[in-house]
Amino acid sequence: MSTLFRKKPVVIEAVQLTWANWNAICDFVPKPIFIRGVWLDNSGAMLPEFHTNVRAPGNAALGLLIDTLEGVMLARGDDWIIKGVKGEFYPCKPDIFEATYEPVSEEGSSPTPFGNHALGKMGL
């Protein structure tokens, strides 16, 4: 028999992985957790090092190798990079992020708008 649970409301920090805010990603994710940026092919698979894919639309060719508690993960363009409550980092798909988190002000009370290039604190 299962039991129902609700996530505790916590405030986390997150940055969406886009070309426009690559510098914010570099500032947000510390080394050695930030392994390296990578190019992706049109199917989303990682290209070999030093290969590029400048023909992909938008953020489709953008990738980031990130060291998480579960091992090295590949974050793809438009994924959110989350800093967890214990300082851990991990990627999150945009649809899961938007279903799970909502923007909060710096004080943690009132919502603030966020778009594809938001950098700031997010809460449940």
Position 106 scores a pLDDT of 72
Position 72 scores a pLDDT of 95
Q: What is the mean pLDDT of the chain?
A: 83
Give the separation between CA 115 and CA 107, rounded to whole angstroms. 19
Better-scored residue on pLDDT, 10 or 15: 15
Pairing of strands 89-92, 80-83: antiparallel
For residues 105, 109, 110, 111, the Cα torsion angle rounded to the nearest 10 degrees is 60
Position 41 scores a pLDDT of 82
Q: How many CA atoms lie within 13 A of 53 on its CB side?
A: 22
Q: Which residues contact 73 (CB under 8 A, 6 or more apart)?
A: 65, 66, 90, 91
Is the pLDDT at 1 greater than 60? The verdict is yes
Is the pLDDT at 107 greater than 80? The verdict is no
pLDDT tens digits along 37-82: 888 887 888 888 777 766 666 777 889 999 999 999 999 999 999 9
Q: What percentage of the chain carries pLDDT values higher than 90?
A: 52
Better-scored residue on pLDDT, 19 or 49: 19
**Listed range (9-13, 90-94, 106-110) with the worst mean pLDDT:** 106-110
Its pTM stands at 0.76
